[in-house]
Structure 1
Amino acid sequence: MSIADLRKDYSRASLTEADVDPDPVRQFSVWFRQALDAGIPEANAMSVATVGADNRPSSRILLIKDVDADGFTWFTNYASRKGRELAIHPHAALLFHWVELERQVRIEGRVEKLPDAQSDAYFQSRPLKSRLGALASAQSEPIASRDALERQYADTEAEYGDHPVRPSHWGGYRLVPDRVEFWQGRPSRLHDRILYTRQEDGAWRRERLQP
C-alpha cells in the first residue's frame, strides 16, 4: 500500500454551534478533560509553531502546563530556538491532536513571558533531575557528543546538589489566544470546524468553516 492510499473515515462524533461553549478556553477545557478521561497518551502534548528572523516557521512538541482565562502556559529555555524566535516574533500557533477522539484544536495568539515568581514556583515543583537538566543543557546549542552532555549534567549535579535554582534563561510563556478552532472529524471529509475569533472589545465571535 502506498502512502497516498492511507486514509480513514471519521465517525465518532459531531460538533455543532449549539454544542460548544461561548468561551473557547472553557470549550478547550471540556475537550481536554474528555481526552484525559479517554486515556489518550500525553493528552497535554501540543505542537508549538514559531517564526524566526528569516520568516521561516519551525515547530516542536511541548507539554502544556496550565490553561486558564488568561491563556495557555508552558515552560522552556528562553535561549532555545523557539525562545529566540519568540523574542523576535512574539506570536505562536499551538496544535492539539487527539487522534483517538478524531479531534484537533488550533490556537493562535500573542505570547508573553510569565512573571518570575510564577516561573520560580513551577521550577521548584519539578522533579530534581528535571531541574538539574534545565541548568545543565544549553538547549538548541551544538555539543560534541552524548558523553559531553552527560559530563555537563554531572558537573551541574556536583555544583547544585539537591538545591538547584531556576536559571534566568529558563521560565514560562503564556499564549493569549485571539483565534481558536475546534475540528471534529466527520464522514466523507465533511468535517466540523468551529472558529472563535476575539473581537476588539474582547468578546468572541463564533462561525462555522467549510472543511
Structure 2
Amino acid sequence: MRNEERRERLKAALLDAAERTIAESGLPALKARDLAKDVGCALGAIYTVFPDLDALILAVNLRTLALFDRAITAVRIAPEPEGAATPAERDAAVETLVRLAVAYLHFAAANPARWRALFQHRVTHALPDWYLVEQVRLFRYIEAPLRVLRPDLGERERALLARSLFSATHGLVSLGLDEKLMVLSEPVLRGQIEIVVGALGRGLAEG
C-alpha cells in the first residue's frame, strides 16, 4: 500500500474514532492518546495526518454541520415570491422561520453531545476558510424567508439579522436543554420557540 493511501486510511480511522467518542461521551472525553490506542497507531502518527487536535475536532464538527444540513433540508421551505410578497406569503415566511427553529431544537435534542461540541470547541487560531464557508451556507436557510419579510434590507444587513435570529433560537435551546439550569421537556421547549420565533417573524413582517 502506498504511503498516501495509508495516510488517508489513518485519517479516516481517526476521524471516525473521534466522531464516535464525541457523539457518545462529549468533547471533553476526546484525548489524543486514547484515539491512538483506539485506531492502533502511535501517538505521533496522529499529527502526520492532522496538524493538531483542533483540526481533527473541526473535521468532526464539519460532519455534524453536514448532518444538521440534512435535517433542515427536510424542512418545508416556503418559496420566495417573484414580486412583492402578499400577506399570505409573509405568513408562510414566518412559518418557515418557526419550522427551521424547531428543526434546530430537534437536532440538538437528538444529538446533544455532537451539538454541544460545535460550541464548546475553542480554536487557538483563525477558523479555516472551508469551515467558515459551511457556516455561512447554513445561514442561507434563514436568510431566504428574511428576504420575503424584509426586502428592504441589503445583503449584509440580512446576513446579520439571520445570525441574530439564530442566536435567539440557540439561546432558547441551550437554556432549555441545559440540565444544570432549567431543563425543559422537548414539547414545552418547542412551544416556547414557536411563540418567540413566531413573534419575531411577525414583527419583521410588520416592520
TM-score, normalization: structure 1?
Answer: 0.27
Bigger helix fraction? 2
**Higher percent of residues as strand:** 1
TM-score, length-scaled by structure 2: 0.27
